[in-house]
Amino acid sequence: MPPMRPEDPETTRTAGPESVQRDTGAEASDTTAEPATDSTTDPTSDSTTEREVEEKPWWDDPRLPWRGKPRRADIACWVGIVLIGIYSFAMLPLRPVLIGSYPLLLVGLTGSRSGLVTIGALAAVGRADWWWIGLALGCISLVKFDLIYYAAGRLWGRGLLEIVAGRSARARRNAERAERLAQRFGVPAVLLSQLIPVIPNAVIYATVAAAGMRFRTFVLLDLASALVINSLWVYLGSRLGQRAVDVVEVIARYSTWISLALLAFVIASAVIRSRRRQAV
C-alpha cells in the first residue's frame, strides 16, 4: 500500500478561511431566504382575524333588536325594557306582604289583580270607601310600561318580537299569534289584550305601533282596556266580600314565609336560566 500523502499546510491555511466564509455565506443566505414565505401560510393572519373579531362593537349583535349602530332612543328603550324585567322580579316577593297590609300601595305599584279583588272585597264589607282611588291607580299602573313597548315597535318593528320569540319554542308560537292578532284586528286587539293572558301584550303593542297607530289612539285604547278589566276584578272582589277578605288575612299572616318562598323561586329560576344559556 502506498504511503498516504500528507496535506499541504499552505493549502489548508489558504483554503480554510475561504471554505468557512463560503459556508457562512450559504447559511446566511438560507437564513435570509427563510422569511420569504407564502403569505397564505403566515401565522399572523389568524391572530389578525381573531383581533378583528374581538374588536367587534358590543352593539353589533344579532340578538339585539336594532340593526346598525343604536341611537340614543334605542339605548333608552332597551334600558327601559331591562328595568321592567328587574322591577317585576323585585316586586314578586313583596306582593304577599303588601296585599294583606297595603293593598292600595300594591295596586299602585304593580296594578295587581289580586290587589284589586282585595279592594273590592274590603269595599263590600265597609272597609274601603276609597275603592275608586284603587281602581284609578290600578289603571295607570297597568299601562305604565306599555308605552315603552309602543316605543319599541316604533323603533324596531319586529325586533321586539324576535326577542320575545327567542326565549323558547312556546314563546315563539305565542309571539307569532300575538303579531297575527294585532295585524288582523288592530284596535280590538289592543282592547282585548288585557283579557288574553297567554298572548304577550308587548308584541301586540309593538305591532300596532309599527303599523302606524297614533300614540294618542293607543293610550286611549290601552286605558279603556285597563278600566274594563280592572273594574271586573273589583266587582269580583265585591261579590266575594268577606270570603275574599278571609283569604287575604290568611295570606297576610304567612306573608313572610310566602315572600321567602317566592324569593327562592326567583333566584332558582335565574340560576337555571343562566345555566341553560351557558349550555347552549
Q: What is the mean pLDDT of residues 6-33?
A: 46
pLDDT of residue 54: 59
Q: Which sequence spans correspond to the domains of the chain?
A: 72-279
pLDDT in tens, 206-251: 889 988 899 999 999 999 999 999 999 999 999 998 888 888 778 7
pLDDT of residue 169: 75
pLDDT in tens, 266-276: 778 777 877 77
For the chain, the average pLDDT equals 78
pLDDT of residue 185: 84
pLDDT of residue 32: 46
Q: What is the mean pLDDT of residues 39-60?
A: 57
* Predicted TM-score (pTM) of this structure: 0.70
**Cβ pair 89, 262 in contact under 8 A:** no
pLDDT at 104 over 80: yes
pLDDT of residue 148: 93
pLDDT of residue 277: 66
pLDDT of residue 118: 93
Which of 57-66, 104-113, 151-160 reaches the highest mean pLDDT?
A: 104-113
